[in-house]
A and B are shown apart, each in its own frame.
Chain A
Amino acid sequence: GAVVSQHPSRVICKSGTSVKIECRSLDFQATTMFWYRQFPKQSLMLMATSNEGSKATYEQGVEKDKFLINHASLTLSTLTVTSAHPEDSSFYICSANHGQYGYTFGSGTRLTVV
């Protein structure tokens, strides 16, 4: 139990375009989901906490207008990278908390902006 599905697994986009990443809890409801970013050989850095039905809470230094988070249902949170630039290229991972199984992570999205 406690599976989190993340799509797409890999995306390449042109500079200036927007990219949407989806995170779904498949067999449980997640009122809170978390979005992380990971650079090569670096740890997971929390970007924002996504709460169902309310605005996301962003970590210091993360531009909320650039990284739009929507958590419209108990099973789906989306992260949209707007006006993407090469420096936004990274590995993005979502996570949801399931009381019994702790924190479960999606498989991640490799974003490359060219």
Chain B
Amino acid sequence: QKEVEQDPGPLSVPEGAIVSLNCTYSNSAFQYFMWYRQYSRKGPELLMYTYSSGNKEDGRFTAQVDKSSKYISLFIRDSQPSDSATYLCAMSVNQAGTALIFGKGTTLSVSS
């Protein structure tokens, strides 16, 4: 079993749809959870950063962490064609000094 599991998709939705992206993990020591967006042949761009369990909202994006279930989610409301990218979940045990462990990434396509 990999440390972080993420369905690679692809996921295709119409403009305006609500998108749900998910990851599961096996290491209960993870405390910091992140979602990155990556456009083709570019470095990942941080979208959301969450510590421990709970919800965090930023504009059209909402991140949820359920440590009891080892499950994290990213919701995108009112999706736009510009949201078309690969979304990677990532997590770490410590805030600094240790590397992030990534999921495989989910490719999202939003059609107009």
Interface on A for B, CB 8 Å cutoff?
4, 6, 32, 34, 41-46, 49, 91, 93, 95, 97, 99, 101-108, 110
Interface on B for A, CB 8 Å cutoff?
6, 8, 32, 34, 36, 41-46, 49, 88, 90, 92, 95-105, 107
A2, closest chain B residue (CB)? B46
Majority SS at the chain A contact face? strand
| Cβ-defined contact, B100 with A91, below 8 A | no
Contacts of A91 in B (CB 8 A): 41
B105 contact from A43, A101, A107, A108, Cβ within 8 A: A43
Contacts of B98 in A (CB 8 A): 49
A93, closest chain B residue (CB)? B43
Q: A32-B97, A43-B88 are in contact. List 20 more A-B contacts (CB 8 A).
A: A43-B103, A43-B104, A44-B44, A44-B100, A46-B101, A49-B99, A91-B41, A93-B44, A95-B99, A97-B97, A101-B46, A102-B32, A103-B46, A104-B46, A105-B36, A105-B43, A105-B45, A106-B43, A108-B42, A108-B43
A43 contact from B43, B95, B97, B102, Cβ within 8 A: B102
Contacts of B6 in A (CB 8 A): 43
